[in-house]
Amino acid sequence: MSNTWFIGDTHFGHTNILTYECRYRPFASVEEMNETLIANWNSVVGEYDKVFHLGDFCFGKENIEIAGRLKGQKRLILGNHDVYNADLYLKYFRSLHGALYWNDCLLTHLPVHPSQLGLRAKYNIHGHLHSKGIDDHRYINVSCEQNNLCLISADAICKAVVKENLTTEMGE
């Protein structure tokens, strides 16, 4: 049996992310960060698990190869820093997307405008915001800073959505 996982904003090879997100990425080097992210990923993902990476995979063409060290059947929702030729990513990712519908969710890198949510998608699973969030239960930020530099399972997201909906309906 396979599971489904989500993550965004790994920023493999991005030295400056250690400064921008120092509270969540307290590493002495970008190599230490990369190895921690790889270990965290492979500790929860199985070979046949489905993984949606919601953008900003890496900095530097040479760091795309890190995807070959990561378990799972990976799909990339392109982020604003995923700027290299598609053929480089497709060596390691099953598919590339600008946005993708999954269940009742719209998967994007950048959060969408609230008017985009409604009939086709009730929720927006996104990245881009790193340690920041949006105070609206319809938005689910899966930037790795949101989950201790690890992936979050579809089951965990579904439980959180159900809990939030029950709380909202009860007026709490």
Predicted local confidence at residue 164, as pLDDT? 64
Per residue in 82-126, pLDDT (tens digit) is 999 999 999 999 999 999 999 889 999 999 999 999 888 999 999
Q: What is the pLDDT of residue 12?
A: 98
In order of start, what are the domains of the chain with their CATH numbers?
A: 4-169 (3.60.21.10)
Per-residue pLDDT at 170: 42
Q: Which residues of 115-129 are buried (b: 16+ CB within 10 A; e: fewer)?
A: eebeeebebbbbbbb
Note the pTM of the prediction, 2 decimals: 0.93
State the Cα–Cα distance between residues 80 and 114, nearest whole angstrom: 20
Tell me how far apart the alpha carbons of residues 13 and 59 are, in angstroms, rounded to a whole number: 5
Which positions of the chain have pLDDT values less than 70?
A: 1-2, 162-172
Measured in whole angstroms, how far is the alpha carbon of residue 3 from the centre of its chain? 15
Residues 5 and 154 sit within 8 Å (Cβ to Cβ)? yes
Taking the CB of residue 135, how many other CB atoms lie within 10 A of it? 5
The pLDDT assigned to 2 comes to 63
The pLDDT assigned to 23 comes to 97
Contacts of 40 (CB under 8 A, 6+ apart): 148, 149, 150, 151
